[in-house]
Chain A
């Protein structure tokens, strides 16, 4: 494990890595900026296929924050189900402006309807990451 982390000189052993999956560039930028301000390392993907490409690489990811509505053949819920099956330790947070608050988003650790409170979400993500041990 250690050699994978150290193989990229910039990688920090102490930082937690969050993958933000969102096709609206300004929203993605806003969320990523808030998380980076809190000291997290943030990776960005425009759609589910980009997210899978990142997760299939050696880049470590601790939590995926994904919108439900994504371009392409896979939406955020399908991505979440796939990730829950294949990477059960990964934390998953789902957001959507289309789903009712009481929608079953079983694969996710948390669901936030849009519009959301950015600081609230960032705080929740930090809490979820705090549950992880590396």
Chain B
């Protein structure tokens, strides 16, 4: 059961910003299965609350949305560059690109295990979203 790509990796923290709860839950679970510590933010306002606490370490911000919250993804990115220039920012903009970005993180990051492909995650998100009644925000 030896996997060449596995290593005693340092756990990194991803701040996941996603306003669709099903997509957020699935993406967060995927990233945790890859070995990341994941902080979940439902909008950019929540993300800013987290980022304003300097003691909370964040290595990567993965933003799957562009507008939700008083600050958009671009404003969030600017805030991070000015206050935490070492933090990597990925502005995905939608679920599919967020899943791709998560897959790339799992390739490059602290891979404790890689149990399934990003496409599986995306298909799962689509199925779950399609299977429930529409909710008013």
Residues of A bordering B, CB below 8 Å: 7-10, 25-26, 28-29, 32, 41, 43-46, 49-50, 52-54, 56-59
Contacts of B133 in A (CB 8 A): 56
Contacts of B124 in A (CB 8 A): 7-8
Residues of B bordering A, CB below 8 Å: 21-22, 24-26, 28-30, 33, 39-43, 46, 49-50, 53, 115-116, 120, 124, 127-128, 131-133, 135-137
CB-defined A-B contacts under 8 Å, sample of 22? A8-B26, A9-B115, A9-B116, A10-B116, A25-B41, A25-B46, A26-B53, A28-B40, A29-B39, A29-B50, A43-B25, A44-B25, A45-B21, A46-B46, A50-B42, A52-B135, A53-B21, A53-B22, A56-B133, A57-B132, A58-B128, A59-B128
Contacts of A52 in B (CB 8 A): 135
Say yes or no: A49-B30 contact (C-beta < 8 A), given A25-B41, A25-B46, A54-B25.
no
- In the complex, A41 Cα to B29 Cα: how many Å? 9
Contacts of A44 in B (CB 8 A): 24-25, 28, 40
* B128 touches which of A26, A41, A50, A57 (Cβ 8 Å): A57
Contacts of B25 in A (CB 8 A): 43-44, 54, 59
- In the complex, A49 Cα to B115 Cα: how many Å? 30
Indicate if the CB atoms of A49 and B135 lie closer than 8 Å.
yes
Nearest-CB residue, chain B, relative to A29: B39
Indicate if the CB atoms of A26 and B21 lie closer than 8 Å.
no
Contacts of B46 in A (CB 8 A): 25, 46
Say yes or no: A10-B29 contact (C-beta < 8 A), given A53-B132, A57-B22.
yes
- In the complex, A75 Cα to B26 Cα: how many Å? 25
- In the complex, A13 Cα to B28 Cα: how many Å? 19
